[in-house]
Chains A and B, each alone.
Chain A
Amino acid sequence: MIDEEILAPLRGDPPGQPRIDVPRAMVEGLRRRRHRQWASGVAVAAAVALAATGGLLTTRLHAAPAPVATTPPPTSCTVSRLPTVDGRWTSVVAGDPTGYLLGAMFPSHTQPGFAPVIWKNGKIVARPKVATGTELVDINNQGDAVGTLDQLPSPLSQAYAVHDGRTITLPGGLSGAKGINDAGTIVGFLGHGGPQRGDQKPDSVPVRWSSPDAAPQKLAVPAGYAWGEASGIAANGTTWGVFGRDVQPGDPSETGALWLPDGTLRLLTPPPPMAGSDHFFVPEALVGNWLYGRLSVGLEFGTLQRARYNIAENRFEQLPDLEDDPGAYADNGWTIGIRTLHSGKTTTQQAILQAGPTAVTLPGPYTNRVSMLQVGAISPDGKSVAGSNNWLIDGQDLPVNGTFLWTCK
């Protein structure tokens, strides 16, 4: 058989009418612009330490998913609504262990961009004034928040911090802010940022600001990488992020990175994978010695597989997949996500608290259709979760819409 014709019997157009909902794609796409989205893939190799001593570290791979927590899962949960501005849909972007929640209010005809909202103890405590196009992404225990203005059509990227009620332009010119710790140290990048921005050739250096008024300090960078970003910082100064080389066709070009409090840089390269060789680890959150993140095939296209890296033991573990999880973790390793249930032609989405191996369904209200349900923050004990739901049917709000706080015991 001629090779070119071997698949010929499979030619043809798909039957039936398409079920593609373009407006929903726009709403969900807009929501994803609000939240950090990392691509995931699978590549596990040895972590490389780039300290002054040099040398390679060997790593052990635990390819089988491991239990992530021993705390008994909750047995019951209740749901309450968080207040919003004029009842407008506000998603939950991030939270801090003391109870601050950072939200993003959906645009309206009078408000062209997402507007930040900050809650504390169930009440709106701040509505920071930011330029249209600014997206705040992290908040600390002072209620200080950070984020970036992407202004089009010019390729402007500017890091901002909200502190003491003021919106402050971070020094350094072209920049982005991605994380803040309780000491007020901010991390991000100088330059245009990584390839997930999509509009510029990636070029950036990872930096820290010790305060919103301080000059940026460049973090250690490995040779051969064209860009890097710092994306998170813990209370002790441990910082994580991603580096990338100039993109070569077919060449895995990104790698996760970790800066220890003493300044040592580690490139996080997972051991040989179960499938594929173009994967790398994207860190998202630090809990104890575990750096949680995802295995990715490329920052441009989205996550695939959750994983975590033990800083002290220099080893990786794969974790069970979750749908639409925000990369937020409690101190006991519990995390949150969404579950989609299909029953015939009916689709329902539910918020999930992943308490170790147990998936706890958080109570509704839910609809029997795919909606904009999202979860964005979890408390340190894993017993409080914040998220939102929004769906417009023929322009009408549904009763299920709102911003929610789930409390479990």
Chain B
Amino acid sequence: MPSGTDSEYLAYVNGRVIALRRTAYLLSGSADEADDIVQETLTKLYARWRRIHHVDNLDAYVNRILVRVFVDDRRRGWWKVSLLDWLPDRAPEKPDAPEDRPLLRAALAQVPPRQQAVLVLRFLCDLPIRDVAEILHCTEGTVKSQTTHGLNRLRKVLGEGEPMPSTLGWGK
């Protein structure tokens, strides 16, 4: 558990900046934006560094800040994005080829920001549901339902057919 000194902050940050940047990149899809997200996250962390003695899982706490920075940034402009602004004339069949990566990223951007975060943390960062719940400070049930809603939205945007029912029997 950290005790609040600058040297401990530096030791913590230097050991985790690469991982934080990767998470921010997976969330945002942009290396530049990832750097901005991590910069803001480290700034917020330092602003609180002296006062986080009670935090048992500092990594989850820092990831929560990071996700919050990402979600807040997305919320500023997300609802302004019109689905019709980017939809191609015909939905792609399978976005699993490298050249479809931008399309998949654009589709993910059409998912509400918090659901985006859930999908990325679960399926790109490979975190178990309980870890995602701790990061997002919500229940595991909320993580599961947000996953379902996010995937349904993503599948709809990609034109992949009927959405999944909201049964929560799957997951790690």
Contact residues of A with B, CB < 8 Å? 1, 3-16, 18-22, 24-26, 28-30, 32-33, 37, 41-42, 150, 152-153, 197-201, 247, 249-250, 274-276, 297-298, 300-302, 304-305, 321
Q: Mark B115-140, 1 if CB is under 8 A from A, else 0.
A: 00001100110000000010001110
A335 CA / B112 CA spacing, docked (Å): 32
Q: Which of A4, A20, A276, A304 contacts B21 (CB 8 A)?
A: A20
Chain A residues with CB below 8 A from B3, complex form: 153
Question: Other CB < 8 Å A-B pairs besides A29-B47, A152-B4, 8 of them?
Answer: A7-B108, A18-B17, A18-B35, A22-B42, A198-B55, A199-B54, A249-B142, A298-B68
Question: Interface of chain B, helix or strand or loop or mixed?
Answer: helix
Q: Mark B24-60, 1 if CB is under 8 A from A, else 0.
A: 1110010110110011001111111111111100000
On whether the beta carbons of B47 and A19 are closer than 8 Å, the reply is no
In the complex with contacts A42-B75, A249-B137, A275-B75, A9-B26 CB distance below 8 A: no
Q: Mark B141-159, 1 if CB is under 8 A from A, else 0.
A: 0100000000100110000
On whether the beta carbons of B21 and A14 are closer than 8 Å, the reply is yes
Q: Which of A20, A24, A250 contacts B142 (CB 8 A)?
A: A250
In the complex with contacts A20-B39, A25-B46, A302-B44, A9-B68 CB distance below 8 A: no
On whether the beta carbons of A301 and B68 are closer than 8 Å, the reply is yes
Chain B residues with CB below 8 A from A302, complex form: 44, 68, 72
Q: Which of A14, A25, A37, A304 contacts B22 (CB 8 A)?
A: A14
On whether the beta carbons of A3 and B45 are closer than 8 Å, the reply is no
On whether the beta carbons of B75 and A304 are closer than 8 Å, the reply is yes
Q: Mark B63-101, 1 if CB is under 8 A from A, else 0.
A: 001001101100110110000000000000011111011
Q: Which of A9, A28, A199 contacts B53 (CB 8 A)?
A: A199
B37 nearest CB neighbor, chain A only: A20
Chain A residues with CB below 8 A from B69, complex form: 301
A37 CA / B55 CA spacing, docked (Å): 21
B33 nearest CB neighbor, chain A only: A14
Chain B residues with CB below 8 A from A11, complex form: 26, 124
On whether the beta carbons of A10 and B124 are closer than 8 Å, the reply is yes
B160 at the A interface (CB under 8 A): yes
In the complex with contacts A18-B38, A20-B35, A22-B42, A198-B48 CB distance below 8 A: yes
Question: Interface of chain A, helix or strand or loop or mixed?
Answer: loop
Q: Which of B42, B49, B52, B164 has the most chain A CB within a 10 Å cutoff?
A: B42
Q: How large is the interface on B (under 10, 10 to 19, 20 to 34, 35 or more residues)?
A: 35 or more
B10 at the A interface (CB under 8 A): yes
Chain B residues with CB below 8 A from A301, complex form: 44, 65, 68-69, 72
B62 at the A interface (CB under 8 A): no
A13 nearest CB neighbor, chain B only: B22
In the complex with contacts A10-B29, A200-B54, A37-B47 CB distance below 8 A: yes
A276 nearest CB neighbor, chain B only: B75
On whether the beta carbons of A1 and B160 are closer than 8 Å, the reply is yes
B9 nearest CB neighbor, chain A only: A26
Q: How far is the CB of A244 from chain B (nearest CB, A)?
A: 14
Chain B residues with CB below 8 A from A29, complex form: 42-47, 49
A276 CA / B114 CA spacing, docked (Å): 9
21 contacts between A and B (CB under 8 A): A4-B123, A6-B155, A8-B123, A10-B26, A10-B101, A10-B105, A18-B18, A20-B21, A20-B35, A21-B39, A24-B43, A28-B43, A150-B51, A199-B51, A247-B137, A249-B133, A249-B137, A250-B137, A275-B78, A301-B44, A305-B76
Q: How far is the CB of B102 from chain A (nearest CB, A)?
A: 10
Chain A residues with CB below 8 A from B98, complex form: 9
A7 nearest CB neighbor, chain B only: B123
On whether the beta carbons of B76 and A321 are closer than 8 Å, the reply is yes
B14 at the A interface (CB under 8 A): yes
A274 CA / B79 CA spacing, docked (Å): 8
On whether the beta carbons of A32 and B43 are closer than 8 Å, the reply is yes
